[in-house]
Structure 1
Amino acid sequence: MPQILLGDDDEELTQLLQEYLRNHGVTCDCVYDGEAVIQTLKTKRYDLLVLDIMMPKIDGLSVLRQLPAISQLPVIMLTAKGEEIDRIIGLELGADDYITKPCNPRELLARIKAVIKRTQASVSEHSPLPSDGRIVLDQAHRVCCIDNTEVQVTGTEFDILVELLRQKGEVVSKAWLSEHVLQRELQPFDRSLDVHISRLRKKLQPFHPDPIKAIRGKGYQMVV
């Protein structure tokens, strides 16, 4: 049974989501400010964090900035409808996905299951991972090594890298990546995939000046 932490100062909403998730096989603990999120993560292990951006004491973006020193768990952001800048910043800080408020509990459950499935996927569930000698991917531990140097990537970045390497040299459409990695249809003006790839590109640039090419109107091409 997955265990998640939900950080949101809307107690009525969190209780509703908590009950819904528990009825569908997900254990959910709730805290109501950013400081409590950080303290709770220091004392208990979770499979995923659902994090509201607007919280008292410490806001969600500040929590994301501190999170790498505390835990490597995946994060789904809760953001106000229309607050695209918060979503972009959150993704740039390492969040795996987002959902806008007020959120549909069923949609949140689907996002939680999708992110956890990606993060905890076992080697046996996938075909052999690609490797070109320079890049080695360890699916069991979600580790990426380039030229024998470990590169810290998020779960979503890891899965994007897997798919781009599987089709190295080919142009992979944004729609295909969205459906196979983020597990949702690409929506107009949704920049989340672009932000994930931008972060991944920066992490690979020390090993290659232009590792992932953006092909205008078509998608992305892995060239490392």
Structure 2
Amino acid sequence: MDKILIVDDDKKICQLVEMFLEKEQFEVIKAHDGEVAIKKFKEETPNMVILDIMLPKMDGYDVCREIKKISDVPIIMLTAKGETFDKVLGLRLGADDYMVKPFDPEELIARIRAVLRRVSTNSNQSAEQIIFPNLAINMDNFTLKINDKESQLPKKEMELLYFLASNPNKVFTREQLIERIWGFDFIGETRTVDVHIKRLRSKLKEVKDNYEIKTVWGVGYKFEVKKGV
């Protein structure tokens, strides 16, 4: 049974989420401030954290930072802060998903299950291969498999796709992608990233309903795994 830590100072929301989680056979732990959240996380070692941002004593961003220093456990931020800046910051700090209040509890359950599936899949695959339903990225032979059709991609396209897909739903700036894929000594324009993204989007169009390299305007790009995958 997966154990989930709910962190929210609104006890009614905690009770609502707890009710739906227990109905789905999850074990639930609750914390109502950031400091208690860290303490319970270390004591209980949950499989996932549902985390509000506006918390007493230590805000959700700091809680996320502290957890990610010691664990790769998935985190879904559930908060009233719905500005793009807040979403991008949360995802940059390591959150795996971000939901804005008011929310649909059934959608939250669906997202929880999707994130847990991805974590389970990634833990069972080799370091050089990423496997999603109907999509496989294999760095051993630089092949991309979509549905049952396999194709070979240029080296930089494969490295870029592999890196983004290894960090689903996380946003990266062009500069970060340049440094990671082309290296610190790259001489050229950051628009090189845009060209490669355009080519990758063309190759992913058959599975666009489930997987997409999305532009986060003013920031960069992310590999988005759609709800329900």
CA contact (8 A) 1:50 1:77 kept: yes
Question: What is the DSSP-based 3-state SS (H/G/I as helix, E as strand, rest coil) of the residue aligned with 1:213?
Answer: helix
Q: Which residue in the other structure is 1:204 paired with?
A: 180
CA-CA distance at 1:20 after TM superposition: 0.8
Question: What is the DSSP-based 3-state SS (H/G/I as helix, E as strand, rest coil) of the residue aligned with 1:99?
Answer: strand
CA-CA distance at 1:117 after TM superposition: 0.4
- Verify: 1:131 aligned to 2:107, yes or no: no
AA aligned opposite 1:213? V
Q: Which residue in the other structure is 2:41 paired with?
A: 41
CA-CA distance at 1:106 after TM superposition: 0.3
Q: Which residue in the other structure is 1:86 paired with?
A: 86
1:77-105 CA distance string (max 9 Å, x none) = 11215322211111111111111111111
Residues 217 and 117 of structure 1: is their aligned pair in 2 closer, same or farther, counting only changes over 3 Å?
Answer: closer
Question: What is the DSSP-based 3-state SS (H/G/I as helix, E as strand, rest coil) of the residue aligned with 2:14?
Answer: helix
Identity %: 35
Residues 66 and 203 of structure 1: is their aligned pair in 2 closer, same or farther, counting only changes over 3 Å?
Answer: farther
> TM (normalized to structure 2)?
0.62
- Verify: 1:50 aligned to 2:50, yes or no: yes
Report the Cα distance in structure 1 between the residues aligned to 2:140 and 2:54, rounded to whole angstroms. Answer: 43
Q: Which residue in the other structure is 1:187 paired with?
A: none
CA contact (8 A) 2:7 2:37 kept: yes
CA contact (8 A) 1:53 1:86 kept: no
CA contact (8 A) 1:213 1:220 kept: no
Gaps of 5+ in 1: 136-161, 183-191
Report the Cα distance in structure 1 between the residues aligned to 2:152 and 2:53, rounded to whole angstroms. Answer: 36
Gaps of 5+ in 2: 202-229
1:144-178 CA distance string (max 9 Å, x none) = xxxxxxxxxxxxxxxxxx99xx874469xx9xx99
Q: How many residues align?
A: 177
AA aligned opposite 1:131? M
Q: Which residue in the other structure is 2:103 paired with?
A: 103
Report the Cα distance in structure 1 between the residues aligned to 2:63 and 2:74, rounded to whole angstroms. Answer: 13
Report the Cα distance in structure 1 between the residues aligned to 2:152 and 2:4, rounded to whole angstroms. Answer: 34
CA-CA distance at 1:4 after TM superposition: 1.0
Higher Cα radius of gyration: 2
Report the Cα distance in structure 2 between the residues aligned to 1:72 and 1:207, rounded to whole angstroms. Answer: 26
Q: Which residue in the other structure is 1:153 paired with?
A: none
CA contact (8 A) 1:52 1:77 kept: yes
Report the Cα distance in structure 2 between the residues aligned to 1:123 and 1:103, rounded to whole angstroms. Answer: 33
Report the Cα distance in structure 1 between the residues aligned to 2:101 and 2:174, rounded to whole angstroms. Answer: 26
Question: What is the DSSP-based 3-state SS (H/G/I as helix, E as strand, rest coil) of the residue aligned with 1:204?
Answer: helix
Report the Cα distance in structure 2 between the residues aligned to 1:65 and 1:199, rounded to whole angstroms. Answer: 22
Report the Cα distance in structure 1 between the residues aligned to 2:197 and 2:68, rounded to whole angstroms. Answer: 34
Residues 74 and 3 of structure 1: is their aligned pair in 2 closer, same or farther, counting only changes over 3 Å?
Answer: same
AA aligned opposite 1:214? D
Q: Which residue in the other structure is 2:193 paired with?
A: 213
1:59-78 CA distance string (max 9 Å, x none) = 00111222222322011111
Question: What is the DSSP-based 3-state SS (H/G/I as helix, E as strand, rest coil) of the residue aligned with 2:193?
Answer: strand
| Runs (4+) off by over 4 Å | 124-129, 196-200, 205-210
Report the Cα distance in structure 2 between the residues aligned to 1:89 and 1:61, rounded to whole angstroms. Answer: 8
CA contact (8 A) 1:79 1:87 kept: no
